[in-house]
Chain A
Amino acid sequence: MSDQNIIEITGVEKRFGSFVAVSDLNLSLKEGEFFSLLGPSGCGKTTALRMIAGFQDYEKGEIRIGGQLMEDIPANKRPTNMVFQSYAIFPHLDVGDNVGFGLRKLGLSRKEMRERVSEALEMVELGGLERRKASELSGGQRQRVALARALVMRPKVLLLDEPLSALDKKLRENMQLEMRRLQQKLGITFVMVTHDQYEAMTMSDRIGVMFAGQLKQVDRPEQLYARPCNREVAAFIGGMNFLNARVTGENGDTLSVDVDGFGPLVVQKNPNVLASGTDILVGIRPEQLEIGAKQPDGYDAYLQGTISDVAFYGESVHYYVRCEGLDDAIVVAVPNYFHTVDHKPGEPVWLGVQNASVIDLGAREQ
């Protein structure tokens, strides 16, 4: 990854009638970066991707790729290539002709073209399948052909529209690692659209989270997880317990807060929050809470409650704990260390939390 910006989007807006699909989008992507646009369906992420590709016009703002303004450059002349959600494999052509489809425009020699096609197929581990018919490919193979067909063009930017959503879970996880490895090897900028938070986190250098046409937060995956900018983003990425809190004091980077149920705690100020105040919201990740039949040692605040539900996930167990004075049950995730489920519904338990686990999510009303 270099510090050079490959894509610069400034103030872009797209409306469909009165519906604002994308509003005031500002985004700079670095050369060689793996960037994901993450959000629920209908949030405008695919529209944004299609605007970069040139398939979608927009009313306001500008998009630059490699410093060049894209306004008058049609999709077929842009230095981008796309992997479509449906893969869009040409059914009347075999694998080799699919991958070589765009190369025919470049005036390469027959030999050169064959070499580039077979090289691209090697890259996605489909070497030697040139003469395979499109109808004979499995879902995973179609995905790889789509990837090879786009990469063989050596684009400056590869655009991926939900590239893994049609694959089953196991295959998807393999492809996540494989695509990440491929992207690092080639050093091409990848821009991926996805609604799957895990996919975005495992693959991306940075993630942009979109809701209702607005880009809410752009950050590295671990920062997004640790310092989400508001309740929406925090709830979309991973599990989160939300609690109301009042600010009682401020000291440099930290806030003293009185959290519902837990009482006084000291939290790091979150630089990403959009607005602050005295009545704030804090979040605690389920896996960062301690649970025990007796009061656990060494925590900064405690809470007592009763188990209402237990959910076994295999790698972890989720306990739902009802506490007096709190509307929602607190979720606690315990890693499955010894194949035991330690608590049953109806049992009284203690919860413990450290200051460092509590996330400041800014003003309650926003």
Chain B
Amino acid sequence: MATILKSEAGKGIALSAPASLYVGLLVAAPLGILVAYSFWTQTYVEIDRTFTWANYSEAVNDPLVRHLLIRSIAIAGAVTFATVALAYPIAYFIAFRTQKKALWLLLITIPFWSSYLLRVFSWKLILGFNGVMNSALISIGVIQEPLTFLLYNEFAVVLTLAHAWAPFAILPIYVSLQKIDRSLLEAATDLGCNRLERFIRVTLPLTVPGIIASCLIIFIPTVGDYVTPALVGGSQGKMVANLIQVQFGAANNWPLGATLSLMAMVSVGIVAILFVLLATGLGRRIR
């Protein structure tokens, strides 16, 4: 044991062992089980373990699955775009326009002090038929009847998630902005750029890695999110995760649920890879 720990490779294995064990038991093994299930069949209360592609052909040919998958990706895209677009100016402000960076970073994490579920519920209270927003607007006389487009649709899902994800977008972008050597910005000015040109030609390309990180951190979990759509999405705001949940629950069809999960995972993977390639390529094109 002692000699193994002395070699470089041995040290590496020893250091990564706890994490490998954890990942193996809690990620790789469940994933393997999921893959196995997707090739089996549910027969009332038992599982028929003969290999079949039936679940996949059923899922691919079901227009509801296709529709929900596309909607999930679209909503996740909208959430990602809204969050990053709102987060960038905040990150920029903290990195370049204030001396009280620690205070601002602390303020940004304040939403985390209450639970995610509570935050989703508070949006329900704010956006609801008799919610804060509607009562306020009625009492100041802007509207007569409560607005109904606020809750139980895609808009509510995007709004709620954009709020929930904000710190995850702000922090990576802030880090990439903070890393920029200030003399690079002065050099751009010195070479004739005004503020906008300087931003587009120097600041933005240098923060592409931060933007990509933010987008992935938000996009990937959003596609699979089911709490928010279930609570504030209504019927219009349902996403693929809600369907998967039904398969594992009420519908009691684990193999189909597993198939849907894997299909969602693969779709997210493909979209994410395409996005990274596109964003990196665009970043490189800026001269």
Q: Which residues of A contact B (CB under 8 A)?
A: 53, 55, 74-77, 80-82, 84-86, 88, 90-93, 97, 100-102, 104-106, 149-150, 153
Contact = CB atoms under 8 A, between A and B. Distances in A.
Contacts of B181: 86, 88
B188 A92 contact: no
A206 to B, nearest CB: 24
B191 A101 contact: yes
A75 B197 CA distance: 14
A93 B187 contact: no
B192 interface: yes
Interface string B174-209: 000000010110111111111001000110011000
A88 B189 contact: no
Nearest to A91: B206
B287 interface: yes
Contacts of B283: 92
15 contacts: A75-B190, A76-B189, A76-B190, A81-B190, A82-B187, A86-B181, A86-B183, A88-B186, A90-B202, A91-B206, A93-B287, A101-B191, A101-B287, A106-B192, A149-B191
A82 B184 CA distance: 12
A148 to B, nearest CB: 12
B287 A88 contact: no
A97 B287 contact: yes
Which 4 pairs from chain A and chain B are nearest by CB? Answer: A102-B191, A88-B187, A88-B183, A105-B192
A77 B195 CA distance: 12
A75 B189 contact: yes
A82 B286 CA distance: 23
Chain B residues touching A, range: 20 to 34
A92 B205 contact: yes
B190 A92 contact: no
B198 to A, nearest CB: 8
Interface string B82-121: 0000000000000000000000000000000000000000
A55 B190 CA distance: 9
Contacts of A85: 183
Interface of B: 181, 183-184, 186-194, 197, 201-202, 205-206, 283-284, 286-287
B189 A90 contact: no
Nearest to B206: A92
Most B Cβ at <10 Å: residue of A53, A76, A97: A76
Contacts of A149: 187, 191
B177 to A, nearest CB: 14
Most A Cβ at <10 Å: residue of B186, B191, B205: B191
Contacts of B183: 84-86, 88
A253 B286 CA distance: 66
A90 B184 contact: yes
Contacts of A81: 190-191
A82 B190 contact: yes
B191 A153 contact: yes
B187 A84 contact: yes
A76 B206 contact: no
B158 to A, nearest CB: 32
Nearest to A84: B183
A210 B191 CA distance: 28
A48 B230 CA distance: 63
A88 B193 contact: no
Contact of B186 (A84, A92, A105): A84
Given A75-B186, A84-B187, A101-B201, 5 more contacts: A75-B190, A88-B183, A93-B287, A149-B187, A149-B191
A166 to B, nearest CB: 12
A86 B287 CA distance: 21
B107 to A, nearest CB: 28
B190 A105 contact: no
Contacts of A80: 190
A90 to B, nearest CB: 6
B287 A104 contact: yes
A105 B197 CA distance: 10
A90 B198 CA distance: 12
A82 B191 CA distance: 8
A100 to B, nearest CB: 8
A189 B37 CA distance: 77
A55 B191 CA distance: 13
